[in-house]
Chains A and B, each alone.
Chain A
Amino acid sequence: DVKVTQSSRYLVKRTGEKVFLECVQDMDHENMFWYRQDPGLGLRLIYFSYDVKMKEKGDIPEGYSVSREKKERFSLILESASTNQTSMYLCASSPSGTGYGYTFGSGTRLTVV
């Protein structure tokens, strides 16, 4: 089975800190995605990547950046964490091409205080 691993289940950070959320997949998938999930707002796409060193903005990229130096790893970076970035963050991957589904990680619950 494909595994998508997010390095932390829970994180507490202070306002203004630089925060790294790491995601690793083990099935050689080309596509990787970062979503955040908030009550009443559902899942919203932050950034995605189709290949190493490639990145595309999603629906809510402000305040975030990403890094994909290796195919299996996709990092989400909060440049200067703010309290409105308190959320559940979900990473996903999928093969390229049509006809394939997504596999999600177990999520990181980030609290910014």
Chain B
Amino acid sequence: KQEVTQIPAALSVPEGENLVLNCSFTDSAIYNLQWFRQDPGKGLTSLLLIQSSQREQTSGRLNASLDKSSGRSTLYIAASQPGDSATYLCAVIGIQGAQKLVFGQGTRLTINP
């Protein structure tokens, strides 16, 4: 059974820092990995989708990498801003999973002005 783990569970950094969020998964047989952002009480906003054949994806100040063989992904946020404060969720679609997303528990990020 696929399991997704995100470390750390919470992170607080001063504004302007570059930071890395980590995601690991136990079964490397995946189709995709998707990073989401969730603001308190709101739904999930898709940030980046990495297909299994890709190594990374970039959108603005965000860069996500995928190392399928080791079961790891990182989300890099450059020049963090207070507006980046949110919970970040990593999820994978496994080849055995019938197109179902399996989520990590998330990293709650706080950027201090």
- Interface of A toward B, CB cutoff 8 Å: 6, 31, 33, 42-43, 45, 48, 50, 56, 58, 88, 90, 92, 94, 96, 98-107, 109
Contacts and interface: CB of A to CB of B under 8 A. Distances in A.
B32 A100 contact: yes
A90 B38 CA distance: 12
A31 B32 contact: no
In the complex, which range does the number of interface residues on chain B fall in? 20 to 34
Interface of B: 31-32, 34, 36, 41-46, 49, 51, 89, 91, 93, 98-101, 103-106
Contact of A106 (B36, B42, B89): B42
Main secondary structure of the interface of B (DSSP, over half): strand
Contacts of A98: 31-32, 51, 93, 99
Contacts of B41: 88, 107, 109
A33 B100 contact: yes
B101 A102 contact: yes
6 contacts: A45-B100, A48-B100, A90-B43, A99-B32, A102-B46, A102-B101
